[in-house]
């Protein structure tokens, strides 16, 4: 008799036998993971269409020629990857401050959470300013949604000997894809900054202290790291490849 009872008790301890959360995460955090998964699909669709269009194009504006200036300074030529390298560094850095805020939350240290969150917000704002400068620079050259620079400027962005008709066609595709994808990503960064500000205000008000846990920091942290993750891919496929 007692053996049977023990067996039932054994069964009940497995993760999926009911009575507890099999994933062992709080509801909101799991939903954030599933939202991020759906967002990953959206970004993948955009990046894969970019890949397919670029792959099938006879030529493409060379990244080391299009992105060779440092917007906001007088450097106009010969500095490929410098500016975007700075942007990448800023975003990875703000990811670090975010994960440090989460870690401080685990120790219920309100003061540290606030400072790391402020650091993250500043990082996000710096990234957005850099992106604004980058967009402004490309726009001043003549790129915009379905707009490309004039013939003389356009030639600077291609290897020598590419016919003008091909330059025109692929530049249009490049401009549309670049502004759509970095715009969609930038919008995510912007929303992330807004969410971070709201959460920081809540921390200041002591909402999570009363609640007894800083789990909310983890949830916004997940979103923020995802934004960083997407940038890693955007960086590779627009600036390196």
Partner 1 sequence: MSSEPTEVHHAEGEHGDTMTRKRIWKVFFILLGITCVEFFIALYLVPNGHMAIKVANPVYIVLTLFKAFYIVAFFMHLKFEKVGLVYAILVPILFIIGLILVLTNESHHWITLRL
Interface ranges with partner 1 (CB under 8 A): 15-16, 21-28, 30, 33, 37, 40-41, 44-45, 48-49, 51-53, 55-56, 58, 64, 80-81, 85, 88-89, 92-93, 95-96, 98-100, 102-103, 106, 211-213, 215-216, 218, 221-222, 225-226, 228-229, 232-233, 235-236, 240-241
CB of residue 4 to partner 1, shortest distance in Å: 28
Among residues 87, 24, 31, the alpha carbon closest in space to that of 223 is found at 31
Q: Which residue has the tokens 């590419």?
A: 162
Query: Alpha carbon of 227 to those of 79, 97, 149, 193, 197: distances in Å?
Result: 26, 14, 30, 11, 16
CB of residue 5 to partner 1, shortest distance in Å: 25
Those residues whose C-beta lies under 8 Å from the C-beta of residue 178, and which sit 6 or more positions away, are: 138, 143, 238
CB of residue 3 to partner 1, shortest distance in Å: 29
CB of residue 13 to partner 1, shortest distance in Å: 14
Q: Which is nearer to partner 1, 57 or 118 (CB)?
A: 57
- Reduced to 3 states (helix: H, G, I; strand: E, B; else coil), residue 71 is coil
CB of residue 56 to partner 1, shortest distance in Å: 4
Q: Which is nearer to partner 1, 11 or 52 (CB)?
A: 52
Among residues 97, 94, 115, 90, the alpha carbon closest in space to that of 200 is found at 115
Q: Which is nearer to partner 1, 144 or 169 (CB)?
A: 169
Q: Which is nearer to partner 1, 98 or 189 (CB)?
A: 98
Q: Which is nearer to partner 1, 30 or 142 (CB)?
A: 30
Distance from the Cα of residue 185 to its chain's centroid: 6
Identify any residues that bridge with 67 across adjacent strands, giving them in sequence order: none
Write the DSSP symbol of residue 72.
Answer: T
């Amino acid at each position: 008799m007692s053996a049977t009872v023990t067996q039932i008790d054994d069964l009940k301890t497995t993760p999926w036998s009911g009575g507890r959360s099999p994933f062992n995460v709080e509801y909101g955090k799991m939903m954030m993971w599933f939202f991020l998964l759906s967002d990953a699909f959206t970004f993948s669709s955009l990046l894969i269409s970019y890949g397919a269009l670029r792959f099938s194009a006879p030529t493409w504006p060379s990244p080391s020629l299009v992105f060779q200036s440092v917007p906001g300074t007088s450097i106009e030529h010969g500095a490929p990857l410098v500016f975007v390298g700075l942007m990448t560094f800023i975003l990875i850095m703000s990811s670090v401050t975010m994960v440090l805020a989460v870690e401080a939350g685990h120790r219920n240290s309100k003061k540290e959470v606030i400072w790391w969150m402020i650091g993250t917000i500043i990082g996000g704002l710096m990234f957005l300013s850099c992106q604004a400068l980058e967009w402004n620079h490309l726009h001043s050259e003549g790129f915009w949604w379905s707009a490309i620079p004039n013939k003389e400027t356009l030639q600077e962005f291609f290897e020598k000997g590419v016919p003008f008709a091909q330059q025109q066609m692929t530049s249009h595709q490049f401009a549309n894809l670049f502004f759509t994808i970095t715009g969609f990503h930038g919008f995510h960064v912007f929303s992330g900054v807004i969410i971070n500000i709201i959460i920081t205000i809540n921390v200041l008000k002591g909402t999570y202290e009363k609640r007894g846990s800083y789990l909310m920091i983890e949830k916004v942290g997940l979103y923020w790291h995802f934004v960083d993750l997407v940038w890693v891919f955007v960086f590779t496929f627009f600036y390196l490849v």
